[in-house]
């Protein structure tokens, strides 16, 4: 009688083949982050709700997974509260902890808690799962990994330059063609000012952020609805079009500075220009372009805003981030600025999968299966496996030595193990091994050291 078993909706198990590919992505990110001097940290899955609540808006608060207090969780709740309480009021009585929702709020909390132990600028990366009680749908999960890299306590635009190089290096190693889009919050603020609506920065950016998805017509009518005149909208779009121009940014920058623009807009353009100047001597493996409509929901960004999209498959953003002037103000320590970005491992996985970009050579796995058939040959099989492992060759010994040869070869086939060793009477007598290449079907009998050389080559 089988028990009905399942896992919570929106969560996933990762089987070995998928896990190996995911590890390839995570390891690539870690290697590149470390190459640039970022250091890994980890924070607990559970945070106090007082740390999490109010940081992600009202909608975000609802999406937090809350942990029921352990022991007698009813002890601080009166009968009356139980009768009259709403889910929101009661949940705060029943729960003190929640699962982390992202890695940014934990980072802010971490930086404030350990500010006296950390050396600034603090360059950290963090790769851990986060949990959101979102409605699960295709490509959206309730548990997923975030891969964040941030530098805290530095205003220098050299950090932007280095993060862009990190993006270039990551996607070069992953063999994906991407474009990095750049904008600056100051440009958006300046645009609102230029159009005569400095107070309408939020509706303006909400509208133009949709340009790609919703189309120009819809954005125009949304802008009209919030009070932009036809002239203002025209002025806005002429400006947005500039960022799509094919000229290098240096020329665009030069041209724009001739115009009578709001100071803050000029400042934003200057910052972008400095980043491009830093990049000018680099041979990046991806293209970098400006997009003045890029807002990424604005959130807490105050300077540079960046986003990465695939050139090969339209898939939305696969990496995004920006500069913030005040990460830790929410925890009572204002003034720590920084810049960071987050790689979307699930989307990167899906793109690589669709494009067949997981070179199987990159995916570590068992290199050779040593079959075993008991009797006298077993000791030789054991010794062979030991020797291979001493040479750092990932080796399996088939431990069910009563199994037929067909079954043992079937095991190697099913698991894509590329080589199989067979030790029969002749091999034992001659102190040789027979190596079968499972891909080409070729077979070779030779002394152990020659076989080792083949496996290592």
Judged by CB under 8 A, the chain residues 237 through 276 that form the site for its own copies are none
- Among 28, 104, 146, 159, which residue interacts with its own copies (rule: CB under 8 A)? 159
Interface with its own copies, residue 116, by CB under 8 A: no
- Among 25, 29, 41, 182, which residue interacts with its own copies (rule: CB under 8 A)? 41
DSSP state of 118: S
Distances (CA, A) of 63 to 10, 43, 53, 58: 13, 20, 10, 9
Closest CA to 126 of 139, 99, 108, 153: 108
Q: Are 40 and 30 in contact (CB under 8 A)?
A: yes
Span of 155-163, 202-210, 233-241, 444-452 interacting with its own copies by CB under 8 A: 155-163
- Among 71, 213, 258, 361, which residue interacts with its own copies (rule: CB under 8 A)? 71
Interface with its own copies, residue 109, by CB under 8 A: yes
Strand partners, 46: 99
Q: Which of residues 393-452 bind its own copies (CB under 8 A)?
A: 393-397, 399-401, 411, 414-415
Angle between helices 230-242 and 185-194 (to 10 degrees): 150
| Residues binding its own copies: number (CB under 8 A) | 108
Closest CA to 309 of 206, 182, 142, 186: 182
Q: Which of residues 162-191 bind its own copies (CB under 8 A)?
A: 162, 165, 169
Per-residue buried b or exposed e for 263-281, using 16+ beta carbons within 10 Å of the residue's own CB: ebbbbbbebbbbbbebbee
Smallest distance, Å, CB 245 to its own copies?
27
- Among 62, 234, 254, 404, which residue interacts with its own copies (rule: CB under 8 A)? 62
- Among 60, 154, 222, 317, which residue interacts with its own copies (rule: CB under 8 A)? 154
Closest CA to 67 of 39, 44, 37: 44
Span of 207-215, 235-243, 263-271, 330-338 interacting with its own copies by CB under 8 A: 330-338
Residue with Cβ nearer its own copies (62 or 140):
62
Smallest distance, Å, CB 313 to its own copies?
25
Smallest distance, Å, CB 97 to its own copies?
5
Binding letters toward its own copies, positions 353-392, x by CB under 8 A: -----------xxx--x--x------x--xx--x--x--x
**Sequence-ordered list of residues with C-beta below 8 angstroms from that of 81, at least 6 positions apart, any chain:** 89, 90, 93
Distances (CA, A) of 292 to 80, 189, 304, 314: 54, 11, 11, 20
Residue with Cβ nearer its own copies (366 or 445):
366
Query: Per-residue DSSP letters for 256-280?
Result: HHHS---HHHHHHHHHHHHHHHHHT
Residue with Cβ nearer its own copies (189 or 273):
273
């Amino acid at each position: 009688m089988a028990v009905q078993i399942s896992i919570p909706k929106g969560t996933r198990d990762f089987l070995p083949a998928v896990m190996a590919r995911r590890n390839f992505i995570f390891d690539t990110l870690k290697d590149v982050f470390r190459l640039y001097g970022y250091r890994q940290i980890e924070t607990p899955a559970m945070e106090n709700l007082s740390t999490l609540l109010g940081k992600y808006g009202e909608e975000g608060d609802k999406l937090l997974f809350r942990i029921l207090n352990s022991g007698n969780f009813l002890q601080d709740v009166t009968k009356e509260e139980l009768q009259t309480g709403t889910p929101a009021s009661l949940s705060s009585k029943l729960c003190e902890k929640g699962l982390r929702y992202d890695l940014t709020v934990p980072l802010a909390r971490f930086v404030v808690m350990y500010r006296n132990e950390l050396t600034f600028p603090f360059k950290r990366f963090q790769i851990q799962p986060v949990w959101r009680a979102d409605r699960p749908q295709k490509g959206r999960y309730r548990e997923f990994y975030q891969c964040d890299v941030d530098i805290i306590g530095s205003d220098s635009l050299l950090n932007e330059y280095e993060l862009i190089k990190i993006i270039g290096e990551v996607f070069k190693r992953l063999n994906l063609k991407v474009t990095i889009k750049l904008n600056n919050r100051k440009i958006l603020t300046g645009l609102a000012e230029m159009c005569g609506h400095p107070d309408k920065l939020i509706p303006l950016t909400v509208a133009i952020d949709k340009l790609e998805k919703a189309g120009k017509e819809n954005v125009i009518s949304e802008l009209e609805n919030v009070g932009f005149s036809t002239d203002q909208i025209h002025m806005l779009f002429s400006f947005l079009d500039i960022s799509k121009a094919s000229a290098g940014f240096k020329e665009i920058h030069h041209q724009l500075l001739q115009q009578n623009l709001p100071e803050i807009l000029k400042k934003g353009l200057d910052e972008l220009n400095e980043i491009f100047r830093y990049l000018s001597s680099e041979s990046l493996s991806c293209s970098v372009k400006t997009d003045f409509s890029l807002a990424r929901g604005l959130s807490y960004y105050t300077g540079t805003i960046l986003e990465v999209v695939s050139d090969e498959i339209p898939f939305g953003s696969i990496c995004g981030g920006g500069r913030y002037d005040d990460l830790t103000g929410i925890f009572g320590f204002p003034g720590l600025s920084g810049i960071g970005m987050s790689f979307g491992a699930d989307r990167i996985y899906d793109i690589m999968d669709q494009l067949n970009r997981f070179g199987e050579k990159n995916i570590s796995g068992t290199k050779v299966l040593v079959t075993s058939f008991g009797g006298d040959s077993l000791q030789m099989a054991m010794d062979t496996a030991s020797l291979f492992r001493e040479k750092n060759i990932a080796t399996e010994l088939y431990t069910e030595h009563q199994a037929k040869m067909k079954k043992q070869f079937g095991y190697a086939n099913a698991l894509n193990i590329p080589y199989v060793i067979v030790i029969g009477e002749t091999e034992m007598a001659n102190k040789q091994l027979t190596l079968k290449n499972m891909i080409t079907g070729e077979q070779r009998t030779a002394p152990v050291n020659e076989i080792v050389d083949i496996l290592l080559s």
